[in-house]
Amino acid sequence: MAREKACRAAKAAVLVLVVALYFAGGVESKQKKCDKGWECTNSIYCCNETISDFFQVYQFENLFSKRNAPVAHAVGFWDYHSFIIASTVYQPLGFGTTGGKEMGMKEVAAFLGHVGSKTSCGYGVATGGPLAWGLCYNHEMSPSQSYCNEDYLYPCTPGAEYYGRGALPVFWNYNYGIIGDGLKVDLLSHPEYLEQNATMAFQAAMWRWMTPMKKKQPSAHDVFVGNWEPTKNDTLAKRLPGFGTTMNILYGDEVCGQGSVDSMNNIISHYQYYLDLMGIGRESSGENLDCAEQEPMNPSYQPASS
């Protein structure tokens, strides 16, 4: 009986706490939420311009002008419609809708800069220049291995291959597992979805852009739009708000902390090329554009099997 009473008291205390939190959060919850039709619903971010207001089909075609050339490797796969449909999940969370139109356009250019660089088949003498060939691939062409590592949480499905696929290519069973959880799609059993469904491929990349990899860390979105305050450790490691730290979050020491290497410069070049094409201009690239001197936010992945 005493236990029941204690339990009731505890429940009452929780109720009081919940009510208190509700009122404490009152200021924020009073900020007006908006709906923008199918594209952005029930969020303060939808009150600002949405992506289709400032980034339209012709601009997408301009940025990825060679993706359907006969020699490209994913002809007919990628399109504007898939990009916009995918973004409807993340625009209410601030993707492309934080901080006003110019920041929105810059974030789209930054996100697509990563995507373009990672899916390009452009090379020095390619027609239209090497930067015109983003979205040339939707999967790795000649995988040298099956990218299966022992993992308790995300064991490989027999017969599945976890080679690189998607808009920000996903490799390894554990990454398919984590992103599948994020999208609520069983990518561990069906990694092939990311080379069959362009909307899902864009969505997986946006999830990666919008989601911190560890607790208390910022997402690439956060460091780009200015949602993030570097800690003292971050400052010492030269990680500051801007495009450079988005590369640190997405690729770590594969790209960052190695000086002015091609793998880093290629991503920056795509970002700036898209800024130019979108009419913003590379002079608006922002502070802390590179990560040449940054220490990685997370050291290279070590599988937790041993």
Ligand X SMILES: *[C@@H]1O[C@H](CO)[C@@H](O)[C@H](O)[C@H]1NC(C)=O
Instruction: Please identify, using beta-carbon distances, which residue of 37 and 100 lies nearer to ligand X.
Output: 100
Q: What is the number of H-type helices and E-type strands within the chain?
A: 12, 2
The least distance separating ligand X from the CB of residue 245, rounded to whole angstroms, comes to: 15
Instruction: Please identify, using beta-carbon distances, which residue of 221 and 270 lies nearer to ligand X.
Output: 221
Q: Tell me which residue of 117, 67, 130, 121 sits closest to 266, measured CA to CA.
A: 117
Rounded CA gap, 220 and 237, in Å? 17
Q: Does 83 bind ligand X (CB under 6 A)?
A: no
Q: Does 100 bind ligand X (CB under 6 A)?
A: yes
H-helix segments, 37-100:
51-54, 57-63, 80-87
For residues 183 and 203, is the Cβ–Cβ distance under 8 A?
yes
Q: Does 248 bind ligand X (CB under 6 A)?
A: no
φ and ψ at residue 139, rounded to 5 degrees? -160, 160
Instruction: By CB under 6 A, name the one of 36, 39, 40, 48 that touches ligand X.
Output: 48
Rounded CA gap, 37 and 119, in Å? 31
Q: Does 74 bind ligand X (CB under 6 A)?
A: no
Q: Does 227 bind ligand X (CB under 6 A)?
A: no
Instruction: By CB under 6 A, name the one of 146, 199, 217, 265 that touches ligand X.
Output: 199
When CB distances to ligand X are compared, the closest residue is 100
Instruction: By CB under 6 A, name the one of 36, 39, 40, 45 that touches ligand X.
Output: 45
Q: Does 44 bind ligand X (CB under 6 A)?
A: yes
Q: Could you tell me how many residues of this chain bind ligand X (CB under 6 A)?
A: 11
Instruction: By CB under 6 A, name the one of 41, 99, 182, 240 that touches ligand X.
Output: 99
Instruction: By CB under 6 A, name the one of 50, 52, 98, 294 that touches ligand X.
Output: 98
Rounded CA gap, 271 and 264, in Å? 11
Which secondary-structure segment (H or E) carries 34? strand 34-36
Q: Does 226 bind ligand X (CB under 6 A)?
A: no
Rounded CA gap, 296 and 279, in Å? 32
Instruction: By CB under 6 A, name the one of 87, 173, 197, 294 that touches ligand X.
Output: 197
